[in-house]
Structure 1
Amino acid sequence: MPELVGDAGLAQYAEAVRLREEAEHVPWKLPRAPRPRFGHSEAPWLPVVSVPISGWGAALSLGLVNLVFLAALVAISLLLLARAYARCCLAVLAPSPAE
């Protein structure tokens, strides 16, 4: 550490201490609030399968059911949307009766 000489050195030291104290009080350095914990009565739920998850077996099996159901839902809806989009494109790009 460099030597502090005279009033200028003392002022620099005081400024460094002040900046350090300010840096310790910035909002992102404040302690975080505790995360909510699920009690025994509040088990997490899956979005599709409305069964409370109480163990690893239920989590893995119902998670797989949830994944398969949502994948099927996305596949069916994408097919319907693609078909509707294709029909709209054909209708818009069809030759006019004047041609």
Structure 2
Amino acid sequence: MARSCLLLLIFFSSLFTSLPLLAHSFPSNTHKLDLTLDGSSDEFNLSYAEFNRRVLATSGYISYQALRRDSVPCSYRGASYYNCRPGANANPYSRGCSAITQCRS
């Protein structure tokens, strides 16, 4: 048992020490992406796969229930999707009167 653990330890240590060599032996398509607003810090190299993975990890997901053809978001006819109650306004937010909204009071 101890011998097999020792062999596994040696195998994994040799694997981890050779990983940096393997990373440099294969060409990769990388693009520089500046992640700061002013561009003053170092630039990071991200591959397309890594960039896409990060974008998808931050976004939500659409459930299979929402993708069904016969699925209706709101069972009341003419009701808003945001406020699914009968007789509810589609946009209950009321803006104040200002010059930019050009409302007449």
TM over 0.5: no
- TM interval, short-chain normalised: under 0.3
Larger Rg: 1
Of Structure 1 and Structure 2, the greater strand share is in 2
Greater relative contact order (CA < 8 Å, ≥ 6 in sequence): 1
* TM-score, with length taken from structure 1: 0.27
* TM-score, with length taken from structure 2: 0.26
